C-alpha cells in the first residue's frame, strides 16, 4: 500500500496520508527561516516608496475625477442649449 504525499497549504510542510483510512501517517514541517532585523529595516524603507506611490495614485485619481466632472458639466450644458431647436428622439420600435 502506498501513501499519498501532500504539501500542507497552511504550514507548507509535507503530509503522508494513508489512502485506506484517510488518516495522516506522518508530517514533516517546513523549515522556517529566522527573521533578520536588517531585512526588516530594508522592508520598512521600501514602505516609504509605497507610500509615495499611493499618494501619487490618489492625486492622479483626483485629477481624473475633476476632468470627468468638467466633461459631464460641459456635456450637460450643451444638451440644455441644443435641445430646444432639435426634434425629440423617437424610438424606431414605435410604429405610430
10-65 confidence digits (pLDDT tens): 778 888 888 888 888 887 887 777 778 888 777 777 767 778 888 999 999 999 99
pLDDT of residue 86: 62
pLDDT of residue 94: 78
**How far apart are the C-alpha atoms of 31 and 55, rounded to whole Å?**
38
The predicted structure's pLDDT at residue 19: 86
| Overall size of the chain counted in residues | 96
C-alpha span between 23 and 25 (Å, rounded): 6
Q: Quick one: cell of 93?
A: 420600435
**6 near 28, Cβ under 8 Å?**
no
* Residue 78 banded pLDDT, cuts 50, 70, 90: confident
Amino acid at each position: 500500500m502506498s501513501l499519498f504525499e501532500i504539501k500542507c497549504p497552511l504550514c507548507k510542510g509535507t503530509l503522508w496520508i494513508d489512502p485506506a483510512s484517510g488518516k495522516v501517517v506522518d508530517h514533516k514541517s517546513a523549515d522556517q527561516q529566522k527573521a533578520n532585523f536588517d531585512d526588516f529595516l530594508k522592508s520598512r524603507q521600501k514602505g516609504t516608496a509605497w507610500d509615495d506611490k499611493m499618494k501619487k495614485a490618489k492625486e492622479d485619481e483626483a485629477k481624473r475625477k475633476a476632468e470627468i466632472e468638467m466633461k459631464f458639466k460641459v456635456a450637460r450644458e450643451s444638451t440644455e442649449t441644443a435641445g430646444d431647436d432639435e426634434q425629440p428622439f423617437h424610438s424606431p420600435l414605435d410604429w405610430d
